[in-house]
A and B are shown apart, each in its own frame.
Chain A
């Protein structure tokens, strides 16, 4: 251990300075702008206090985008967590020859989300897409994957899950490898079945990794943008308009920077609250006495 010495804090200065410039300054500036009536390009900026916030909260569109975000974020993270965890357990059991398999599963995660989304769009696009062409060939009339409000949500969820399931699988698989094998042996001898071993031994041991993946993914999913932008652009109507899509619309389509900033601040607070809650709950469930 290095003893704390006076003057050592100088060494923190560069990284702290960098953090301030790239992280805290834009954040502070966004907070500042959120109190103004300010349009991009216009020269006047009027201080309106909480006006932007009041306006946002009284609009139906914010609430709708908020619920859309919740549905898509929890839907896709839930789906990719369940599938990713199941796959991790699967290859944990396989042990051998798993490497090639994992590489294949990882493929969707290697390409950039925008490209992956384009790829999915090419599959889902109506009539000419790979899926529709196949279904039509079989004389099945497919739903409008991206044009129907409900199917559009489902498509977006599936797309995100497809891209990020491999990541969750790898993190949980890595965590599984650190598990003491004899714990499973002991539990088997003690008469626990596969489900009980999962519940009493494996999941508790994975809690830190689970908290990590779920938090990171939820955080990401709340800022969910690129895939939706490519697939549906928030439509049809506002069916897949998440908070970030709405922020984008406000800021870059309507040029209402003040309101967009206010929405950004709201998003930050909401995400922080949700993450802290999830972290607390998961920790409380399994880490008693820690």
Chain B
């Protein structure tokens, strides 16, 4: 039987030293907490909820993304190395605690099968796992991929990983010295191996004693230093994941503007709209910044960063993390980050999807954009024209050559009648005012008539207000949404068919918070159901279709399969390398449909990716994506290759 603290006089001193170390560790964590507390409370919706609700805690997310690290494994080798270090360290820590339990509680951990399989074999296996993982990380830091060093590499990880490797090595050497002195331990396969390498005649008991203390001090030093180093992510990441709403997308919510309605209140003294300074963020956002690993997975997938636009989500988060670390709560963030960067975000949420620790980068960016739009009225030129049009005409298509009913020319489109019509066909502003996109609305009218669906349109077309929200003007969005909700109530509308994923997202995510609750169905989903119920007789003609997932359907609402089922009913589906939740944006989101083209264009990159599949046609189910990709494809071919799913079905119904 093994004896704890063999060959070590006053070995329990290391356990006593653990107490001051714990104090240093906790005081380091408290410093993080103090800074994060400077943010705004997360829930301040009504006075009665103030100070009372801690906010939701998502246990399943902690278990999956936090403890199992499911997102990390999307990069297999990094995930594996991380898993080796994490689970190895967890096992080694448990082993250390068991030794303490043996000394204090006389728990017989060093006897029998438990000793053999856990304390000897298990801990050796854990140690070698950690070492393997660390070697991967150390080598990778020497030859880092672009995402780790662009725009900046995090300092402090290399020394801490190196220190941990030294702790593991000294641990193995201590074990080897003990084995050298006492004879082989059958299950300690690493200890036995290292002991075999030691030269004969080495003063094993003396070296063992020194190494034991060195190993102990280094380990205590490592633990004490965790909160002061990037390794603090071990603690912060699970907390951050636990507090992150697991629904997909940035979850912008709506802003309560009732303050302004109060006759007594001076609007000039109302709280800041959006975020201008670090302290305007909620505590959850500050925790996001503090937790960021600087891993660059967001940078790698961001359409803006990948096309040399001024935005990198990693840069945004790490810049804010640096301000937080330096306690700089008064810097004006639009100046620090650059408003051109803030407006380059397409709100595609690819960064969020890629982030292993559930950081909400788009919300951070959008909240600063809200401040620029609502407090400073600073919008890029084209966006401000679209905004003006939206404000004055209730649609953003300034200079359009189309009247509100032009898309209906030659069609018999019923108007929604209260109590008679089942579905409201919501054309949305793009399919109303853009000539190319009008074909989607026309196709959908034919499809619905063919399938015998009871539907109608509004007598005066409207926009959901989503472009205003995306441009950062939540106030205008709320105004338009309330007007719509009022009209829907008058007409007793309950079911809505949308042609645009942005409208779908607005109706399902934001309208309920303003009192508008409807059953909303995206047109691609409805078409899929109609085909499945044999109401649309279509068959495959052997054409190939490459489906471009709109961010607001796939990533934000997890609608990926149904549009594919529609295409599979009429031909062969081909996939781009980046598809479904990992789709690459068309470049038109976040109001960037109205942005000045500069540098590499996102829509051209995506169009090329689609054309490279050798597909006959590119299909999508978003009018913005349709317009962006139609434009992007022009760089490579004269042929019109981009179609909405509704157009493809309608054409086959006609020819059938």
A interacts with B: no
> A residues within 8 Å of B by Cβ?
none
> B residues within 8 Å of A by Cβ?
none
